[in-house]
Amino acid sequence: MKLVASESLSRLVALHCSACGAEHSAFDLQRVSICCSLPLVADYDLHEPLSRDVIDQADTSMWRYGALLPLLHHENKVTLGEGMTPVLNLPRLAARYELSSLRLKDEGQNPTGSFKARGLSMAISKAKELGVDGCIIPTAGNAGVAMAAYCARAGLRAVVVMPRHTPQAFKEECYWYGAEVELVDGLISDCGARVRQRNADGALLDISTLKEPYRLEGKKTMGYEIAEQLNWQLPDVLLYPAGGGTGLIGIWKAFKEMQALGWLAPETPLPRMVAVQAKNCCPLLETYAGRQPNCHSYQGSATLANGLAVPHPLGEAMMLRVLRESRGTVVSVSEEDMLAGMRDLGQQEGLFVAPEGAAVWMATRHLLATGWLHRDEKILLLNTGNGQKYMDNVAGRAAR
Ligand SMILES: *Cc1c(COP(=O)(O)O)cnc(C)c1O
Ligand SMILES: [Zn+2]
């Protein structure tokens, strides 16, 4: 289906290949780039002046940034109120570790219990706008749940392929949204192979991480929110649990867009971006450290942090670029440390976070110990999900 951007508030102009830059139309259904089979990235007209007044203050969801989002016609919006999650102070942990500013953006408060809601709200809205009938996704849990919910709301068929070992809560929720669920022995990469086989005729839109351009645009809204919620003063360091990497890449994209728009003071430095991985599955760390050329043949294993078990992230090169440009780094965290982090955040701050979020806190402690992070720096943690869904992984592990 051909779309016309006229009468739309969106500043979307084109898509480009993340590897070679080749332009692709943003007004046709696209998957990965034709040239390199790598992720496509949305471009907006950022030269025409646009003031921060364009933010729709009456909208308390991520859709308040509509001009910088890719949806052309608001009647195609598929929303459950995702976004505008709170940025919380962590005063007791800050006092214990003598930190001057420690905050956490709690993405566990999103619809369907994780930040995947942002990406899937956007991707399913665009799928609807582009006339798609059904969607398929390989998932470690949260993305499948979110896709199932937004497809139900859009009236689209949903097929979710997830590892058999995924905690029951994720599977159940998909069934309640009416999705077809297939279980696979293995990790998300094995589920991806099954999706390609099952969808060989291309009847369904493959919503795999970075295999369509719009989940990234939904995740990007975290970057806009962080700036707006912190009164346009960015933190010094931002720590993010990276699996496929859409959050890391998306937040950085938002910071660059806001710089181009003049929404950030010109002298404002952007945060150093830290990617946090599980020791059981840390392809990005291995490539970053030079122990492998890239993640293609990396062997990972399962982890309590299901969302981090991504052995072959398609966006690895894009993540590495963010780390380099931001002077960031990568840290990996053990299974035991994730549980210790869940205890810290639970007992000290009243937060029942996903193991992915707990890993981010433990990475902070590690970087403080090595001196990479300083006690007077403004630190922002991303907790990406709600701990409740992970009960099968963590039940009985609260006490020391
Ligand atoms: C998917 C997921 C991640 C990783 O997100 P990417 O965008 O794939 O890097 C982290 N935490 C949770 C809770 C997730 O569901
Ligand atoms: Zn290309």
Class of the domain covering 87-111+217-394: alpha beta
Instruction: Tell me, in angstroms, the distance from the centre of ligand 1 to residue 244's CA.
Output: 7
Q: Tell me, what's the pLDDT at 7?
A: 57
Which among 325, 318, 319, 299 is positioned nearest to 310, based on CA atoms? Answer: 299
Give the CA distances from residue 322 to residues 30, 286, 311, 315, 374, in Å, rounded to whole numbers and listed in that order.
24, 16, 19, 11, 21
Q: Tell me, what's the pLDDT at 1?
A: 47
Q: Are strands 87-89 and 378-383 parallel, antiparallel or unpaired?
A: unpaired
Q: Tell me, what's the pLDDT at 318?
A: 98
**Global pTM?**
0.97
pLDDT band at 399 (very low <50, low <70, confident <90, very high): confident
C-beta of 242 in contact with ligand 1 (< 6 A):
yes
Q: What end-to-end distance do the CA atoms of the chain give, in Å?
A: 57
| 33: pLDDT strictly greater than 50 | yes
355-378 tens-digit pLDDT:
999 999 999 999 999 999 999 999
C-beta of 222 in contact with ligand 1 (< 6 A):
no
Burial 26-52 (b: 16+ CB within 10 A, else e): bbebbbbbeeeebbbbbbbebeeebee
Q: Tell me, what's the pLDDT at 316?
A: 98
Name the residue of 188, 277, 356 to mutate for ligand 1: max ligand atoms within 8 A of Cβ. 356
C-beta of 245 in contact with ligand 1 (< 6 A):
yes
Q: Which two tokens stand for residue 338?
A: 């994730």
Point out the ligand nearest to the CA of residue 304: 1
Sign of CA dihedral 112, 139, 207, 134: negative
Q: Which two tokens stand for residue 133?
A: 């009938």
121-139 tens-digit pLDDT:
999 999 999 999 999 999 9
Domain ranges of the chain: 87-111+217-394
Atom of ligand 1 nearest to the CA of 310: 8
For the chain, what percentages of helix, strand and coil (3-state, to nearest 5) are there?
40, 15, 40
Residue nearest to atom 13 of ligand 1 (CA): 385
C-beta of 85 in contact with ligand 1 (< 6 A):
no
C-beta of 144 in contact with ligand 1 (< 6 A):
no
| 263: pLDDT strictly greater than 70 | yes
Q: Spell out the SS3 assignment of 121-181.
A: HHHHHHHHHCCCCEEEEECCCHHHHHHHHHHHHHCCEEEEEEECCCCHHHHHHHHHCCCEE
Instruction: Tell me, in angstroms, the distance from the centre of ligand 1 to residue 309's CA.
Output: 9
Cα–Cα distance between 81 and 83 in angstroms, integer? 7
Work out the mean pLDDT of the chain and round it to a whole number. Answer: 96
Q: Reduced to 3 states, what is the DSSP secondary structure of residue 399?
A: coil
Q: Tell me, what's the pLDDT at 341?
A: 98
How much is the average pLDDT of 53-71?
Answer: 97
How much is the average pLDDT of 223-248?
Answer: 98
Q: Residue written as tokens 């970057």?
A: 223
How much is the average pLDDT of 186-212?
Answer: 97
73-111 tens-digit pLDDT:
999 999 999 999 999 999 999 999 999 999 999 999 999
Sign of CA dihedral 195, 111, 120, 243: negative
Q: Tell me, what's the pLDDT at 77?
A: 98
Point out the ligand nearest to the CA of residue 16: 2
Q: Tell me, what's the pLDDT at 400?
A: 67
Point out the ligand nearest to the CA of residue 338: 1
Beta-bridged to residue 16, according to DSSP, are: 23, 41
Atom of ligand 1 nearest to the CA of 248: 9
145-183 tens-digit pLDDT:
999 999 999 999 999 999 999 999 999 999 999 999 999
Q: Where are the beta strands (DSSP E) in the chain?
A: 12-17, 23-24, 40-44, 87-89, 101-106, 134-138, 157-163, 180-184, 205-206, 237-241, 272-278, 329-333, 378-383
Atom of ligand 1 nearest to the CA of 141: 15
Q: Tell me, what's the pLDDT at 329?
A: 98
